[in-house]
Structure formats: C-alpha cells, structure tokens
C-alpha cells in the first residue's frame, strides 16, 4: 500500500471492519468473520469505483472511513465497543489462531505469485498492460489481500489501529532499504519485532497490547528515519 501510495486506503479499509464486527457480535458469530465479510464488500466497492470512475482515492477513503465508522459505532453494543476499536489479545482463541496461520500462509503465497506484476504496475501501469498484465485483476487481488490482512488483525489491534500495522513497517523499511528484496525483509522484521516486543511491553506494564504494538512500530519508524538513506 505504501509503494502504491495507497496508505490511507489501507487505513480506511481497517475502519470498514467495524460494522462487520458489530454484525458478528449481534448474531453471535466470530467477529473476525463479520469483519472479513464487511471488508470484502468494501474492497469490491473501492476497486469498482477506482477502476470505473474518476473519483480520487482520497475522496473514496473519506466516504468509506466516515460511513463505516458511523455505522459501526451505531451498531456495536457499548460493552464491546472499546474492544472492537482497539482490540484485545486476551480474547484471541485457538480458532482465531488457526484462521490467522491459514490466512497468513494464503497472503504470503498469493503475494509471491503476483509480486512481479504488482511491482511492474507500480512502476508504470501502461508498461505492465503492454506486456499483457491484467492490472485491474491484479489490483483487485491485491486489495483482497489487504482486506484479509486487516481481517486477521482486527481482533488483536482493533479497527482503529490495524491500519497502522499495514503502513508503519513498510514506511520504516522504505527509509532504509536499498532494494525491494531488503525492503521486504526489513518490513517483515519490523512487523514481527513490533508485535512481539509490543506484547511483552504491554504484559510488563499491564497496558493494552494494541497501542503498545503500534507505538513500538512507531519507534522503529523514528529510528529508520534517523538512519534514512540519503
């Protein structure tokens, strides 16, 4: 999302999960599945409008962000609202863990398969299309992957903070990476270390894990900015 200059689209997608979580809670189903359903609908909406209309992505983000947040705030039962917004690691059970492992494996495999086409599209959509790459299809697959990442993260980080973990590791890695290969390694490293260190800090100081993880990621971003490649 960062390389495609769509960081805020990733952030907006995470807010879209809120009404999905609310519906999940209302009907007593796993909120992660509710979030995934809402994200899928929003992803197709964003993709369709960006491919078939001339609305700027920023405008789409504004509309989806406010609409989803408002709808989610109205629908989510008050006791669960804080948890839906900021996540709660203690509520993550074995089923969620299995979903996450399977989902992460799918994300890695599909990203690996489309990465060359995706990168070429970032360099020049015309160049990619001239080589027969179906960019509309690649962009849709990519947005669906982001939706899956967000769906896997919402129970842990909540709808307000999940977007941060889509953006921060990539921005931090971009500051110091010399190549795409090192960018991928740094981004994964910052993501994993932020999650592990953030959880440990949260346990030690008895604070919520979501904000601790995000702030650890921000710390890495600041460090990467100091050592930024000129």
Partner 1 sequence: MNLMEKPSILKVDNLKVKFNDHVILDDLSFDVKRDDTLAVVGPNGAGKTVLFRTLLGLISYEGKIEWANDVKIGYVPQKLAVGTDIPLTVMEFLKLKEKDTKKIMEALTLVGFREKAEHIHHDIRVIKTRLGSLSGGELQRILMAYALLGDPNVLLLDEPTAGVDIKGEETFYNLFKRLKKEADLTIIFITHDREVVEVHADSVLKLTHEH
Min. distance of Cβ 223 from partner 1 in angstroms? 17
Among positions 125-164, residues that touch partner 1 (CB under 8 A) are: 125-127, 129-131
Residue whose C-alpha is closest to residue 154's, from 219, 228, 72 = 72
User: Which tokens sit at 65?
Assistant: 């962000």
57 binds partner 1 (CB under 8 A): no
Min. distance of Cβ 229 from partner 1 in angstroms? 8
123 binds partner 1 (CB under 8 A): yes
Write down the H helix ranges in the chain.
7-26, 31-52, 57-75, 78-86, 94-123, 125-130, 135-176, 180-205, 209-226
Please state, in angstroms and as integers, the Cα–Cα distance from residue 150 to each residue in 17, 158, 203, following that order: 8, 9, 23
Looking at beta carbons only, is 94 or 229 nearer to partner 1?
229
User: Residue from 183, 208, 217, 220 that binds partner 1 (CB under 8 A)?
Assistant: 183
190 binds partner 1 (CB under 8 A): no
Return the residue matching tokens 């390389």.
Answer: 3
A 10 A CB-CB count for 168 gives 26
51 binds partner 1 (CB under 8 A): no
55 binds partner 1 (CB under 8 A): no
Q: How many residues belong to the site for partner 1 (CB under 8 A)?
A: 22
**Interface residues with partner 1 (CB under 8 A)?**
3, 116, 119-120, 122-127, 129-131, 173-174, 177-183
């Amino acid at each position: 999302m960062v390389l495609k200059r769509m960081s805020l689209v990733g952030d907006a997608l995470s807010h879209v999960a809120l009404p999905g979580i609310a519906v999940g809670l209302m009907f007593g189903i796993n909120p992660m599945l509710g979030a995934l359903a809402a994200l899928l609908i929003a992803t197709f909406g964003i993709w369709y409008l960006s491919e078939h209309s001339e609305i700027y992505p920023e405008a789409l983000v504004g509309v989806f962000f406010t609409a989803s947040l408002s709808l989610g705030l109205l629908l989510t039962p008050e006791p669960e609202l804080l948890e839906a917004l900021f996540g709660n690691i203690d509520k993550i059970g074995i089923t969620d863990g299995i979903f996450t492992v399977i989902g992460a494996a799918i994300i890695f495999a599909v990203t690996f398969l489309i990465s060359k086409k995706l990168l070429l599209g970032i360099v020049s959509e015309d160049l990619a299309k001239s080589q027969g790459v179906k960019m509309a299809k690649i962009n849709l697959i990519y947005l669906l992957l982001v939706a899956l990442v967000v769906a896997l993260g919402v129970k842990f980080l909540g709808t307000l903070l999940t977007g941060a973990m889509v953006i921060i590791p990539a921005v931090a890695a971009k500051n110091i990476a010399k190549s795409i290969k090192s960018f991928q390694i740094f981004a994964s490293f910052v993501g994993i270390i932020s999650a592990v260190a953030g959880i440990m800090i949260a346990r030690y100081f008895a604070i919520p894990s979501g904000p601790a993880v995000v702030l650890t990621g921000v710390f890495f971003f600041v460090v990467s900015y100091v050592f930024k490649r000129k």
